[in-house]
Structure 1
Amino acid sequence: MTRQRTHPVSVVHACLRDGRGGSPTAVLDDDPRFSDAERQRIPALLGTSHAVFLGVAPGGTGADLRFFTATGELPACGHGTVAALAVLTRRTGGGAFTLRTPVQSFAGRATPKPDGDEVDATFETGPVRLREATDPERHLTYQALRFTPDTRTPEVRVAALGRERMLVPVSGRAALAALQPDLDRLRRVCDRFGLLGVYVHTPPDSDGRAAARMFAPSIGVPEDVANANSTACLAAHLGERGVPRIAVDMGDRLGRPATVTGASRTTASGTVVQVGGAARVDRVVTLDPAQDAPHRGGRSGQAVCRVNP
């Protein structure tokens, strides 16, 4: 008889806007019996773009984080970190946490909101490295985004936080909403230049409010509901221009309004950003590797999700 492995999985809506929307993200305790192929399957099975696997330290004040999409492991994921902090807060009541990924350690903090349902979560990134985009990077990305000559704006930059991604400005929210990129072509461009994706953003208003869309077809995410690490990169870029704090709206074209905040500061090692958002654990499901398709079952508000090893 084969022993089944069952695991509770929290589906967290990360980077909510006024209590709505947010990016659905799967968060579960890691298990050494999971293969990476199983980890890659979990986002699709649960209808999320990403899954976060926690290795929780004794006492609950720290955790190792691994991030997966359907195409493989990522070195970092900002909204996934926000989602992980929401789950850790539900277990511990919140506070300060030490978080570790395969590439770095960093501090996170989460505080339950007064109604007890949502959590405000922030974390500090490592140094953000910025450079100007090369002419081939800019030209081919413009073509993939289907920019017309009047859409193009100056100062396209490439930012590295984990992996490089391109920051592309547009004139305003109407131009941003009208974008219909050629995703196959954009994937080829990102693969050619080793980019995580392309983050298209508006200029901030006088209050530091902006909007953005993140296209990352190379990692299996045609458009991300919320991308906190790319927002951190934008915060670092704008910090150099005298804008110390931003709030970026995302997800509207996907019907899931999201907002990510970022505040930059300069350190001896470079520009670092405190980035975050509000999050809520929407539901808990049970992961069972005995079958290969999710189905509803059990008590109200729960589900059984089965994945073959």
Structure 2
Amino acid sequence: MTRDTSSTTPEILRYTAFATRPEGGNPAGVVPDATGLSDGRMLAIAAELGYSETAFLTPGTGRGAYAVRYFSPLAEVPFCGHATVASAVALAARTGPGRFVFSTAVGEVPVEVAADADGVLRATLTSVEPKVEDVSEGDVAEALALLGWAAADLDPDLPPRVAYAGARHLVLAAATRDRLARLAYDFDGLAAYMTARDLLTLQLVWRESTHVFHVRDPFPVGGVVEDPATGTAAAAFGAYLRELGAVGAPAVLTLHQGEDLGRPGLLHVELREGDARVRVSGAAVPIR
């Protein structure tokens, strides 16, 4: 008979991803063994932690194989990049660097963990097959109104699109860094807008140079005003840039996120020639 563990308190780790210091990046909860936990218990744990996502891992039969589910404080989400990086690094801290395979709601996600010269563990996830879709002028206008942006605030060289690499994100490129820095929006209105269109975040970006970007991600559907570092959106954004022809493969992009929140994070996005999938890399460290 299988023991019901849904009411027990599992081991919960706290990591921040896409940073080398605990005060940077995006915090995530990691439950390394969620065997037997009910959906309600996982949601309750995620809500209690209050991070944008918590990852719940169930060990598989193969070495480095895990089934993973992700919960925000409000609901389960299909995939989360920063919690994937945090989980892989947390596992590698115990078993050593190497390869992990996470079975998620959107498919298998391989993750490689290696230690850099300073001993910091860094993870590289490989996204599921991405796709990029057009978005109607009406949908763009409504999103801009909810953000308090004007059409003139957009960069005409990076048009709005919906990009997917495990979750859907509306990409809106600001014409200036100042416009990106001034983020104040209709929380409930944007949450309803995004829910109706199956959007996980808005990927708001400003291009500093060809391969360097600053990004921000409102996340009201998860009960969070803003995600400090968003690996899933970073992968989708890499696919978006390639689809537009704004960058060519091979290329490595640098994304700065969290600076406006006081939690600076650094994400690297790799596009490989002949491979549609996108790789997102970053460090992770425990939160003491």
**Pairwise CA distance, 1:153:** 3.2
Give CA-to-partner distance per residue, 1:178-207, whole Å, 9 cap, x none: 12122222112112222122110012414x
2:189 is paired with a residue of what secondary structure?
A: helix
Q: Give the match for residue 164 of structure 1.
A: 168
Which residue pairs with 2:236 in the alignment? 233
The answer (yes or no) to whether the contact 2:141–2:151 under 8 Å persists in 1 is: no
Matches within 5 A, 1:110-129: 110-116=113-119, 118-129=120-131
Between structure 1 and structure 2, the one with the greater Rg is 1
1:181 pairs with 2:201:
no
**Residue in structure 2 matched with residue 265 of structure 1 by the alignment:** 272
Is the 1:231–1:262 Cα contact (8 Å) retained in structure 2?
yes
Once the two structures are superposed, what CA deviation does each residue of 1:50-89 show, in whole Å capped at 9, x if it has no partner?
Answer: 1101112356422211101112211110001101111110
From the superposition, tell whether residues 134 and 200 of structure 1 become closer, same or farther in structure 2 (CA, over 3 Å): same
* Change in 2 beyond 3 A, CA 1:18/1:172: farther
Q: Distance in 2 between matches of 1:47 and 1:205?
A: 34
Structure 1 counterpart of 2:247, from 242, 249, 271 = 242
TM-score (norm 2): 0.89
Q: Given that residues 81 and 230 in structure 2 are in contact (C-alpha distance below 8 angstroms), is that contact kept between their aligned partners in structure 1?
A: yes
Distance, in Å, in 2 between the alignment partners of 1:272 and 1:79 is 17
Residues 12, 76 of structure 1: alpha-carbon distance in 2 compared, 3 angstrom cutoff: same
Q: Report what 1:136 is aligned to.
A: 138
Amino acid at match of 2:139: E
8 A Cα contact 1:235 1:245, kept in partner: no
What SS is found at the alignment partner of 1:263?
Answer: strand
Deviation of 1:234 (Å): 1.1
Give the partner amino acid of 2:97: G
Query: In structure 2, how many angstroms separate the alpha carbons of the residues matched to 1:174 and 1:17?
Result: 27
Partner of 2:71: 68
Q: 1:194 aligns with which of 179, 198, 223?
A: 198
Residues 149/237 of structure 1: CA separation in 2 closer, same or farther (3 Å cut): closer
The equivalent of 1:103 in structure 2 is 106
Structure 1 counterpart of 2:263, one-letter code: R
Give the superposed CA RMSD: 2.2
Instruction: State the identity as a percent.
Output: 27
Q: Which of 279, 286, 297 is 2:284 aligned to?
A: 279
1:60, 1:92 within 8 Å by CA — same for their partners in 2?
no
**Secondary structure of 1:202's partner?**
strand
Matched residue of 1:150: which SS?
A: helix
Q: One-letter code of the match for 2:284?
A: A
Please report the TM-score for the alignment, with normalisation by the length of structure 1. Answer: 0.83
Aligned to 1:92: 95
2:52 equivalent to 1:45: no
Q: What's the offset of the Cα at 1:38?
A: 1.7
| One-letter identity of the residue aligned with 1:281 | P
What is the aligned partner in structure 2 of residue 299 from structure 1?
A: none
Structure 1 residue 11: Cα displacement: 0.3
Q: 1:93 to 1:30 in 2, by over 3 A?
A: closer
The answer for unaligned runs of 5 or more in structure 2 is none
Cα distance, 1:149 vs. partner? 4.0
Unaligned 5+ residue runs, structure 1?
A: 284-309
Which of 206, 217, 234 does residue 214 from structure 1 map onto? 217
Q: Rate the CA distance shift 1:11–1:218 in 2: closer, same or farther, 3 A.
A: same
Find the aligned partners of 1:30 and 1:93 in 2 and give their Cα distance.
17
